[in-house]
Amino acid sequence: MERKKVVCVIGTRPEAIKMAPVVKALAADASFDVRVLATGQHAAMLDQVLDFFGLSADRNLHIMRERQSLDYITSSVLTGVGEYFDGAGAAAVLVHGDTTTTFAAGLAAFYRGIPIGHVEAGLRSGNMRLPFPEEMNRVLVDKMITWGFAPTKLAAENLRKEGLPEGAISVTGNTVIDALFYTITKRRSPEAGELSVLPDGAPFLLVTAHRRESWGRPLEGICEALVEILDAHPDVWMVVPMHKNPAVRETIGKYLGGRDRAILCDPLDYPDFVWAMNTSKFILSDSGGVQEEASAIKKPVLILRDVTERPEVVEQGSGLLVGVRKEKILAAALRLLEEPGAIAAIEKRCEAQPFGDGTASVKIVNTLKESLLK
């Protein structure tokens, strides 16, 4: 029997992390010939992840350039991925999440009539500009898909409301949990040199902030809160992996550069980032995936956004939606640091996991087999 060729498209580090378990599961099944197409929307950050999971891209378009615009990313991905698809002979294309790579690669597949599977389908914030442009990307790509691999029941319900046929929807859990559990078993201590200055056993907070809608004054408000947290707790450190975008790095450096107990570093490789999540007292982040990962390891996360497309995190109680204003961020952080039992209470609420049990990739492969091998 001829193996079915499935092309998995990735462009950013989060996509690579969440798609890696799917690629490995497809490669382990003799029914499929899996290919990895990287757009290079992120460059070195993406390569770190592929190396850790023992994967490589069959083709990399290397589109990344400094201060790249959304227009440039969209047009470059659409053209480059489309040219690849013309000679690929793909039976299916898998895209992930909500990036510009996801939308443009999905559009290229749609134009060619190639069936599309969307891993992490159905997430919705309800505001087309928050997060921007991610909410638009995921809404539009879900209009083109053959298979919607929804991480939760709520995400599946969103797809139903938007008219995706019931037979096209699968509730799988989120593949980021597959990647997280795999990583925890592979590395027990960090390797990044930047983390070596962290005293053994020192309490620290992990901070990530990079979303496009936060650039400018919102990110400054976040940084002002971070400064006051450090001032209020001389024993607490911060680990702040900074996104490569200059707009993000300049703002964070302005407020936290040169401060004692603030470790500003390049993005950590994924295993070190998992270690930092697991070892921190709690996390402050505007990342979507971090919200799910924090829930899985029972770690409180202050969500540095006004809305989230992962309401399960807030409903469960592992995530607190604190926005981007200094006062609200500061109050929530100080409560976790100073109120006895506050962190333990959140950890207890994380017993039930809304994002799956680490078998999402297997469920996705089984669905593809049932559909493509009829």
Bond into 311 cis (ω within 30)? no
CATH code for position 323:
3.40.50.2000
89 and 49 in one domain? yes
Among left, alpha and beta (phi > 0; psi -120 to 50; other), residue 110 is alpha
136 and 216 in one domain? no
pLDDT band at 352; cut points 50, 70, 90: confident
% the chain with pLDDT above 90: 76
Q: Is 186 part of any domain?
A: no
96 and 211 in one domain? no
Specify which residues 282 forms β-bridges with. 205
**CA-CA distance, 196 to 200, in Å (whole number)?**
9
159 and 83 in one domain? yes
Helix (H, G, I), strand (E, B) or coil at 87: helix
pLDDT of residue 1: 65
Are residues 223 and 254 in contact, defined by beta-carbon separation less than 8 angstroms?
yes
167 and 283 in one domain? no
| Residues noted as catalytic | 98, 120, 134, 210, 212, 243
339 and 361 in one domain? no
210 and 168 in one domain? no
Number of domains the chain contains: 2
* 57-93 tens-digit pLDDT: 999 999 888 888 999 999 999 999 999 999 999 999 9
Q: Which stretches of 14-132 are assigned E, i.e. beta strand?
A: 32-38, 59-60, 92-96, 116-119
236 and 300 in one domain? yes
* 232-263 tens-digit pLDDT: 999 999 999 998 788 889 999 999 998 999 99
pLDDT > 80? residue 366? yes
63 and 94 in one domain? yes
Q: Which domain holds residue 212?
A: 192-349
% the chain with pLDDT above 70: 99
pLDDT of residue 47: 82
What mean pLDDT do residues 6-22 have?
95
Cβ burial of 167 (10 Å; 0-12, 13-18, 19+) is exposed
Query: In terms of pTM, does the model score above 0.85?
Result: yes
43 and 101 in one domain? yes
Q: Is 185 part of any domain?
A: no
264 and 305 in one domain? yes
* 312-336 tens-digit pLDDT: 889 888 899 999 999 999 999 999 9
Q: Is 183 part of any domain?
A: no
With b meaning 16 or more CB within 10 Å and e meaning fewer, what string describes 338-351? eeeeebeebeeebe
166 and 198 in one domain? no
